[in-house]
Amino acid sequence: MLKRSIFIVIAALFAAFSARAYAVSDAPDTSAASAIVMHSGGEVIYEKNADAQSLIASTTKLMTAIVAIENCGLDDELEVGAESCGIEGSSMYLHLGQCVTVEDLLYGLLLVSGNDAADALARYTAGSIEDFAALMNEKAQNLGMTNSSFSNPHGLDAEDHYSTARDMAVLMDYCVSNEDFVRIISASSRQVGEQCYYNHNKLLWRCEGCIGGKTGYTLAAGRCLVSCCERDGTRLICVTLSDPDDWNDHCKLYDWAFSQYSDRRALSDGSLPEVPVTSGTESAAAVRPSEELSLFLPRDAELTVRYELPRFVFAPVNMGEHAGRYEIEYNGEGIADGELVYAADVPRIRKTYSYLHLRLELA
């Protein structure tokens, strides 16, 4: 709580994110059995049965990809074994004895959802499918994916292989923080030897700002889709599970979410007060937050900013020195606070005297 010195209260046409401020009825209807829209900072702005455990089909390969990236070198080369050839479902059509790099397999995994690529990556990374699944579950635990269990790298139906919309959003948010992952999943195509693979993610050309996504389908799981989209510096994650209209639902949810929320600077330079300066070359000193402050905000509500600053300061003022503190409130609750520092130097005025002036003063 701010206690001493002057309080300056400024009401701005912003709103801080609050779960209570969000009304599900504002969002478009979806066909999904479970769904979520989450900001990259972790705030959830839409959910529908988001904690229901579900089969996740090939969206599993998001976990396969990040575990492989973090445990292998992209230039590592391996020879494809018999176990990785001819696996049920989608394929990049590896053949026995083929030499490929980990990066080639990642493109086959994320662009065309190759189950053979998933198997080959798992065996190379951990030595066996079982040991790779252990790495997947360890990563899930580290990320806080408390309602997830992985038993294979490709997502074919299994009793102990499941997740939730919320957990998959957490996973995708983590994955897109990795530059190699983003570079691969956002590629439109990839040439591997004589074979060219084209990205199956239609959102890359149907949804403005789409960074990447991963599809999945089995008869039992239905259509599953996990994606990430960024517009004007705001990054959102969307997950739909068992959704027959997933492409359209992701587009609708993103259009709605970006129209309602955005990452914005809560303390812009023009809104900050100045501190009067005594004996300085400037009459006042500008202040700024010690660290850049960006909040994920609805676009049409009001927040209150309180400043604690001195009544005045003696020069010299040095840029970066402590000036005071700020506190941001929404609906009467504090949502952010931090230090204010001086934004620029303000030197002390140095008086100069002529020789005659000095003699008169001495007389």
What distance in Å separates the CA atoms of residue 21 and residue 45, rounded to the nearest whole number?
Answer: 10
Which of 40, 113, 227, 262 is catalytic? The answer is 113
Choosing from 34, 40, 54, 58, the catalytic residue is 58
61 is catalytic: yes
CA–CA separation, 317 and 284 (whole Å) = 10
CA distance 126 to 249: 37
* Residue of 48, 61, 139, 214 marked catalytic: 61
Token couple for 17: 């994110």
Is residue 58 annotated as part of the catalytic site, yes or no? yes
Displacement of CA 282 from its chain's centroid (Å)? 41
The answer to whether the CB of 151 falls within 8 A of the CB of 158 is yes
Residues with catalytic function: 58, 61, 113
